[in-house]
Amino acid sequence: MRIGVLGTGNMADALATHWVRAGHEVTIGGRDAHKAERLATRIGGSVKPASLCAAAESGQVVLAALPFGAGADVARDLHAALEGKVLLDCSNPVGPGFRLLTEGGLSAAIQLAAAAPGAHVVKAFNLCHEDVWRMRPPVFDGRALAVPICGDDETAVARVRELVQDVGCKPVAGGGLEQAGLLEATAALFIALWVGEGADAQAIAPPLAYAAGPSHQETDGGTSAFRLG
Ligand X SMILES: NC(=O)c1ccc[n+]([C@@H]2O[C@H](COP(=O)([O-])OP(=O)(O)OC[C@H]3O[C@@H](n4cnc5c(N)ncnc54)[C@H](OP(=O)(O)O)[C@@H]3O)[C@@H](O)[C@H]2O)c1
Task: Rule CB under 6 A: say whether 10 interacts with ligand X.
Answer: yes
Task: State the nearest-atom distance from the C-beta of 9 to ligand X, in Å.
Answer: 2
| Residue window 154-193: x/- pattern of binding to ligand X, with contact defined by CB under 6 A | ----------------------------------------
Q: Which is nearer to ligand X, 27 or 222 (CB)?
A: 27
Task: Rule CB under 6 A: say whether 7 interacts with ligand X.
Answer: yes
Task: State the nearest-atom distance from the C-beta of 204 to ligand X, in Å.
Answer: 19
Q: Are 180 and 157 in contact (CB under 8 A)?
A: no
Binding residues with ligand X: total (CB under 6 A): 22
**Residue of 17, 27, 58, 92 interacting with ligand X (CB under 6 A):** 92
Region 19-58 residues binding ligand X, contact defined as CB under 6 A: 30-32, 35
Task: Rule CB under 6 A: say whether 150 interacts with ligand X.
Answer: no
| Residue window 93-132: x/- pattern of binding to ligand X, with contact defined by CB under 6 A | ---------------------------------x--xx--
In terms of phi and psi (left: phi > 0; alpha: psi -120 to 50; beta: otherwise), the region of 146 is beta
Contact set with ligand X (CB under 6 A): 7-12, 30-32, 35, 65-68, 70, 74, 90-92, 126, 129-130
